[in-house]
Structure 1
Amino acid sequence: MFRVFFATILLGLFPLQAGELKVAVLHPLLGDIARQVGGGSVEVVDLIGPNGDPHHFEPKPDDLKKAEGATIYLVAGMGLEGYLPKLKAIIANKAVLVEVGSTLPALEGACDHEGHDHDHEHETDPHWWHSIDLFRRATGIVSGSLADAAPEHAEEFRKNAEAYRKKLDELERWTRREISKIPRDSRHLATAHAAFNYFCKDFGFTAHPVQGLSREQMPDPKELAALVTTLKKEKVLAIFPEKESNPKILQTLTNDTGIRLGEPLIADGTGVKSYDEMVRHNVTAIVKGLGR
């Protein structure tokens, strides 16, 4: 019944009219790329919305109705979206599903989501968007996908992608300048969950996540005690909560260690209008918490 209903909705997908390209995105930051690259030639439908959780979102009938006529579905990939096999079966050959992260170099990780019908394990850490370099590469992947779907706009997409990559170049330079304000021995990033490993790898931080790759992976007392020992040994200055997470466990940690609570970070691109806004917010908070 579930699948038949979804399939019925999408059977009405219609061919592109001249100058039109409808793109459905299942991650808010992919919506930003699609708008930057697509410009006025692309209609972007964000199925998750500004405050949705990419880890747990599953498209409902009303969501897919909004995506009617979409030629491309953009997803983050790397195992983030456990519903992909179901979605692929639903859209069949009516649209192209692009896993943007599938060809990007991944970091290892482990994540077991429980309590959903899409229980799965991440063999890789799916939070690739915290690497500005990988986000820059993703821009090229999205540009190529849009060009394949609407060849008449290929040159426009190429130019837009090139311009956006230059903005990301500047964002990366700004990030490095800001991070230079943090002494090297203070570059320890303690966060609510393991969302910032790509950022840490690119910018020379040691990651200390309290939880796993999802916000449901809570440490047991032994793991928590080991983390407290590590934080004290490394003289970590601040622990950063996330805007999307309950900070209670972090508040407990700060009480137990005397480490201050930093400003909340944005892990999954929710609640911001752009990738640039997310990165600048996070970097500013980290430098404020760890800088000289």
Structure 2
Amino acid sequence: MKIALSICFLIAIYSTVLGAELRVVSLHPLIGDLLRQVGGEKVEVIDLIGSNGDPHSFEPQAGDLADAEGAEIFFASGMGLENYLPKLEAILDGKSKIVEVGSTLPALEGSCDHAEEHDEHEHHHAHEVDPHWWHSVDLFRRAVTIVSKELAEARPENKSVYEENAAAYRKNLDALEKWVRRELIRIPRDQRKLATAHDAFQYFCVAYDFKSYSVQGLNREQMPDAVKLAELIATLKADRVVAIFPEKESNPKMLLSLTKDTGIRLGGELVADGRGMPSYEKMMKHNVETIVKGLSVK
């Protein structure tokens, strides 16, 4: 009886080790959602940045890394957004892998109406390319495959689970893409002009045929001088832009002054980085509904 119990105990331990969850770290609110969708119950996701963290200013502290003890992979959004990654890599010293999900996705640089794609192997310094690739549903769908492959490489025994979860999530994103395009039809072509607080929606513009205008640059620290602001106001007036959209994370005072000087109405708040949203799909639906409401014919 004792021998039988010992064997059962050893089998239980062995099974636990084989089925041990893969611990991974998310360095971006939307990447955390993506990891949970693909990993399911086979992955433990540690959100170092949290649902309300700002990817532009976040940098892991000692306490954060203590919370991530035992994590095998750190997932970043990439494209230069997390400029602290070299420092993090040195701290991890090979104990954990760092994956930049967006590093092999086609990148955009410059303003939306004449943005260019860059070769996937070309490297850029932080913020020379627009790192907000998740505003294209197609690119987020491609990121699903990237994440699935990375998880399967870490836990080959769970490959089929990751692939099934990825396939199911891609179907959800297919439906989301169709919904986005159907909703945007309500905006006349000549009003597809998206003026925003900072330059975070170029991928959205390229994907859905909008022209982009932004008060700030690729990050919220880049503020225009008086000359550039005057040029922007002149452009908005000349192009008959009907609304300008603030972001939940930005100070709306400058945008309010712009609306007074131009007669352009202030639209609803957009979400640039997924902060405060329960999922990627919720963020996209919120943004599209807000844009449609602000730009569609009254």
Instruction: Please report the TM-score for the alignment, with normalisation by the length of structure 1.
Output: 0.90
Identity of aligned residues (%): 63
Question: 1:109 deviation in Å?
Answer: 4.2
Higher-Rg member (1/2): 2
> Is the aligned partner of 1:140 residue 2:145?
yes
8 Å Cα contact 1:237/1:290 also seen in 2:
yes
Residue in structure 2 matched with residue 216 of structure 1 by the alignment: 221
Alpha-carbon deviations, 1:39-61, whole Å to 9, x = none? 01110000001111101100001
Question: Separation in 2 of the partners of 1:215 and 1:123?
Answer: 14
Residue in structure 2 matched with residue 173 of structure 1 by the alignment: 178
8 Å Cα contact 1:109/1:122 also seen in 2:
no
Instruction: Please report the TM-score for the alignment, with normalisation by the length of structure 2.
Output: 0.88
Residue in structure 2 matched with residue 75 of structure 1 by the alignment: 76
Alpha-carbon deviations, 1:74-110, whole Å to 9, x = none? 0011000110001111112211110101000000149
- Partner AA of 1:201 in structure 2: V
Please point out which of 261, 275, 285 is paired with 2:290. 285
Which range is displaced more, 121-130 or 245-254?
121-130
- Partner AA of 2:43 in structure 1: V
Residue in structure 2 matched with residue 131 of structure 1 by the alignment: 136
Please point out which of 163, 166, 170 is paired with 1:161. 166
8 Å Cα contact 1:73/1:95 also seen in 2:
yes
Query: What residue ranges of structure 2 are gaps of 5+ in the alignment?
Result: 1-15, 112-124
- Partner AA of 1:50 in structure 2: S
8 Å Cα contact 2:81/2:126 also seen in 1:
no
Question: 1:121 deviation in Å?
Answer: 4.0
- Partner AA of 1:58 in structure 2: E
Alpha-carbon deviations, 1:148-205, whole Å to 9, x = none? 0011110000010011011001100000000000000000000000000000000000
- Partner AA of 1:45 in structure 2: I
8 Å Cα contact 1:190/1:239 also seen in 2:
yes
Please point out which of 255, 263, 267 is paired with 2:268. 263
- Partner AA of 1:79 in structure 2: G
Residue in structure 2 matched with residue 95 of structure 1 by the alignment: 96
Structure 1 runs of 4+ aligned residues shifted over 6 Å read: none
Question: 1:123 deviation in Å?
Answer: 2.0
8 Å Cα contact 1:109/1:213 also seen in 2:
no
- Partner AA of 2:193 in structure 1: H
> Is the aligned partner of 1:245 residue 2:246?
no
Residue in structure 1 matched with residue 8 of structure 2 by the alignment: none
Residue in structure 1 matched with residue 18 of structure 2 by the alignment: 18
Change (3 A) 1:24 1:121: closer
